[in-house]
Structure 1
Amino acid sequence: MNLPNKLTLLRVILIPFFLVMMYVDAIPLHFLWALVIFAAASLTDMLDGKIARARGLVTNFGKFLDPLADKVLVITALTVFVELKEFRMSAIPLVIIIAREFMVSGLRLLAAEEGVVIAAGIWGKLKTAFTMVTIVGVMAYLSLAYDFGLAVPDFVKTWILGALIWISTALTIISGLVYLKGCWKYIDGDK
């Protein structure tokens, strides 16, 4: 297994550790540890693709696991935010993000039946990066407010972090529509 694939696999392995840190209050600085784990996992997303392309190490395993690892990492964090008492996020952005991921996966399958592999476009990459930065922002808030007991103003949670989540959701919708438009030719109502 090459280095980019090991980094992608590491991202998947880090997800249960992220969950443990998010939920186990008995662990000192558990939100900070969750932040560190999520940030490290996000960095592997940036590194694996760059290394794979630069060194000619692109594999089918990487093409399969990399986008899956991204989706599971982001959806895991957002799902936790929906039920977390310290930062309760609306389920609406989560549902939109999950629906977009199902749509894109379905479109990729249709394109694959035609022998076409569709790489992530700029809108998808922007959506992923912005969403990961937003999650890091929420995690930083949780760590400062609850691990360290700092008095973070309510507008940070309500307005700033809330706005970042809705901007991520808007980017999700835009990237999904761009993807749908680009793949429309693979959707044939007569087949």
Structure 2
Amino acid sequence: MFNIANQLTLVRIAFIPLLVVVYYSPFEWRFLTSAALFGLAGITDWLDGYIARKYNLTTPFGAFLDPVADKLMVAVALAVLIQSHSSVWFTLPATVIICREIVISALREWMAELGKRAKVAVSIVGKVKTTLQIIAIVVLLMVDPKGHYWINVVGYITLYAAAMLTLWSMFVYLRAAWPSLRGHE
């Protein structure tokens, strides 16, 4: 149960409070360090999946914990950034991303109960969305939100692209599950 892939996932979860503490610390290096922590978490997300598949280390515990760790890390990072950016232009796409994660997690759980989990499996759009989210959050964490105008603009553009893919992927998943949601399957 506690193989190397699952340990990497647990490390990612341990990064969550560390990210918050570092981001709100009074030190000059807090932004770059927060971005590095989040980026490292993104790398461990890829690495734990790669190791689990390559060495046949997949476990039910890992299958449960990995997506939970991803969603927690993203939601907490976005919550920290919502507070520090404190604008509707940031809060809107961040809220879309967080809400979509809740909706799709609930949908996947419900579809699994029906034995139809494969209909809402992760798609390529979801993987691209996740990559854009990670890039946007790293970029936005790495600089003071009250400075570095162009870096923040790049972060916002990337976040909006991730939010658009978030809505698109949610539509794809809901469309695939629609017959089951209507009770006509």
- Decide which of 133, 138, 141 is 2:140's aligned counterpart: 138
Counterparts of residues 34-73 of structure 1 (less than 5 Å): 34-73=34-73
1:180 aligns with 2:181: no
The DSSP-based 3-state class of the residue aligned with 2:129 is: helix
Deviations 1:52-80, CA, capped at 9 Å, x for gaps: 11111111111111111111111111111
Moved more, 127-136 or 113-122: 113-122
Counterpart of 2:117 in 1: which secondary structure?
coil
TM-score by length of 1: 0.85
Of 124, 127, 134, 1:125 maps to: 127
Count of matched residue positions in the alignment of Structure 1 and Structure 2: 181
Q: Deviation digits for residues 98-121 of structure 1, max 9, x if unmatched? A: 221121112112211122434321
Equivalent residue number for residue 25 of structure 2: 24
Matched, 1:168 2:171: no
C-alpha distance in structure 2 between counterparts of 1:48 and 1:128, whole Å:
15
Partners of 2:90 and 2:156 within 8 A in 1: no
List runs of 5+ in structure 1 lacking aligned partners: none
* Deviations 1:106-164 (CA, angstroms, capped at 9, x unpaired): 2112211122434321111111111001111112333xx88xxxx74x3442x322211
Larger displacement relative to structure 2 (32-41 or 3-12)? 32-41
Structure 2 unaligned runs (5+)? none
Q: Any conservation in 2 of the 1:107–1:186 contact (CA below 8 Å)?
A: no
Q: Alpha carbon RMSD of aligned pairs, Å?
A: 2.2
Give me the identity figure in percent. 36
Normalised to the residue count of structure 2, the TM-score between the two structures is 0.88
Distance 2:141 2:171 in 1: 29
One-letter amino acid of the counterpart of residue 163, structure 1:
I
Q: Identify the range of structure 1 (180-189 vs 102-111) with the bigger mean alpha-carbon deviation.
A: 180-189
Query: Shift of the alpha carbon at 1:28?
Result: 4.4
> By how many angstroms is 1:22 displaced?
0.6
Q: CA deviation at 1:185?
A: 3.0
